[in-house]
Amino acid sequence: MIRLEHVEKYFFRGEPREIHALRDINLTIEAGEFTLFNGPSGCGKTTLLNAIGALDEVDSGKIYLDEREIATLDEDKRTKLRLNEMGFVFQAYNLVPVLNVRENIGFIMKLRGFSDKEIKERVEEVASMLQIENKLDSLPNALSGGQQQRVAVARAVAAKPKIILADEPTANLDSKNSTALMDMMRSLNEKEGVTILFASHDEYVIESVRRIIKLNDGAIVES
């Protein structure tokens, strides 16, 4: 499903404090994987996740999604790719504060042109799966951190993307909520067949995934 060939990424290229963020990354991710990019802070795991998600450009190498080369797409095509085929879960949740839970979950579906009936049915389905069906009319600021993260996951999966990219999804959660969230995301992976990639060093994520890809200094050191 996803293939990276000799991917390189620099920050501050040509400057005295140049950072070689990704070093000759060669990697294949099969459809349906539940996989973690793991390593110490600054190892390149978030940069790698962002490259796969077409959020960051790379300096060289190729990235394929279903045999389409995505690293060289222009920004308009990258935006459409993210909208139509990817879901994102960020550490900071990134919920729209003036929209209630129902509207936040259905936001991407609305952008993609789903009908109101389709949005209503799907929002209620994923809300039930993530145990927030009784919060659909609440605003984000009325929710706990764990509930807000569940809303973010529901929004990411609602439009049935091919791949979900989750950057430190448990970072702001306690142990109970971290365990519950990972159990729910694994259930989504199994029931929906969606590929889920994490960037994290959290033990709750490490214990939950099926594959761990370890990075250090921008290079893959173990898989």
Contact by Cβ (8 Å): 218, 39: no
The owner of tokens 């490259």 is 51
The single-letter DSSP state of residue 72 is T
Confidence class for position 93, pLDDT limits 50, 70, 90: confident
DSSP string, 134-179: GGTTS-GGGS-HHHHHHHHHHHHHHT--SEEEEESTTTTS-HHHHH
CA–CA gap between residue 39 and residue 200 (Å, rounded): 8
pLDDT at position 7 is 97
Quick: pLDDT tens for 108-160: 999 999 999 999 999 999 999 888 999 999 999 999 988 999 999 999 999 99
At residue 210, does pLDDT exceed 90?
A: yes
CA–CA gap between residue 190 and residue 106 (Å, rounded): 22
pLDDT at position 76 is 94
pLDDT at position 68 is 93
Query: CB-based contacts of 115: which residues, under 8 Å, 6+ apart?
Result: none
Contact by Cβ (8 Å): 110, 118: no
pTM: 0.90
Number of other residues whose CB lies within 10 A of the CB of residue 56: 17
Quick: pLDDT tens for 10-20: 998 777 778 89
Quick: pLDDT tens for 158-209: 999 999 999 999 888 888 888 888 998 898 899 889 999 999 999 999 999 9
- The full set of domains in the chain, from first to last, is 2-222 (3.40.50.300)
DSSP string, 181-212: HHHHHHHHHHHH--EEEEE---HHHHHH-SEE
CA–CA gap between residue 147 and residue 85 (Å, rounded): 25
pLDDT at position 122 is 95
pLDDT at position 177 is 85
